């Protein structure tokens, strides 16, 4: 039996792909001549720190303090510390886009799909973060949700973390003792 791909991207799609742009960044930064996914993969496992440094740059991570090194001890895996010294707020990174591209897709148990654009996500998070601030939530405080698995959960998480609060959430399917145990860990 001959195995054929289900889909082959056009030349234009390949040219505009994130992978193509990332390979270009790697080639420019490290003077490599990577031309394919397989070559990038091989380089990524041979030059782990360089790969993740390039990924940090490509992702455009916003931070208040950069990392001291990419990984502290790769031989200690699992257990190595990645990007030690870096200080960032991941909500700031996730909320930096304000356009109409899809930020995330939610699907209910009934199969109903909804999409939320970055611009809408930014507005909803901002409104909820303002509401939390009005109620006295400050950086370092803990905010907990006892919520079903719905699209509003990541909005609440981003609102809390955007102001520096710690977010914890328990699914509505948990019983009282499990909720108390989970929230007692935060």
**pLDDT tens track of the chain, all 186 residues?**
888 989 999 999 999 999 999 999 999 999 999 999 999 999 999 999 999 999 999 999 999 999 999 999 988 988 999 999 999 988 999 999 999 999 999 998 889 999 999 999 999 999 999 999 999 999 999 999 998 888 899 999 999 999 999 999 998 888 888 888 888 888
> What is the Cα–Cα distance from 61 to 94, expressed in whole angstroms?
10
Look up residue 80 and give its DSSP letter: P
Q: Is 71 helix (H, G, I), strand (E, B) or coil?
A: strand
> What is the Cα–Cα distance from 44 to 151, expressed in whole angstroms?
34
pTM: 0.76
> What is the Cα–Cα distance from 99 to 85, expressed in whole angstroms?
31
Q: Which domains does the chain have, with CATH numbers?
A: 11-88 (no CATH), 92-184 (3.40.50.980)
Nearest C-alpha neighbor of 54 from the set 77, 23, 81, 16: 23
Could you tell me the two tokens for 133?
Answer: 């601030």
């Amino acid at each position: 039996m001959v195995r054929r791909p289900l889909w082959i991207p056009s030349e234009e799609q390949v040219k505009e792909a994130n992978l193509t742009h990332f390979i270009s960044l790697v080639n420019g930064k490290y003077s490599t001549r990577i031309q394919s996914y397989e070559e990038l993969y091989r380089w990524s496992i041979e030059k782990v720190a360089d790969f993740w440094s390039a990924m940090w740059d490509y992702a455009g991570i916003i931070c208040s303090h950069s990392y001291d090194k990419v990984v502290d001890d790769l031989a200690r895996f699992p257990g190595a510390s990645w990007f030690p010294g870096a200080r960032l707020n991941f909500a700031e990174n996730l909320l930096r886009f304000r356009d109409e591209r899809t930020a995330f897709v939610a699907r209910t148990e009934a199969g109903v799909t909804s999409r939320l654009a970055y611009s809408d996500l930014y507005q909803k998070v901002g409104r909820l973060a303002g509401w939390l601030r009005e109620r006295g939530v400050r950086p370092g405080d803990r905010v907990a949700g006892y919520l079903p698995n719905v699209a509003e959960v990541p909005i609440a998480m981003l609102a809390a973390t955007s102001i520096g609060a710690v977010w914890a959430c328990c699914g509505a399917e948990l019983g009282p003792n499990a909720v108390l145990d989970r929230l007692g860990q935060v």
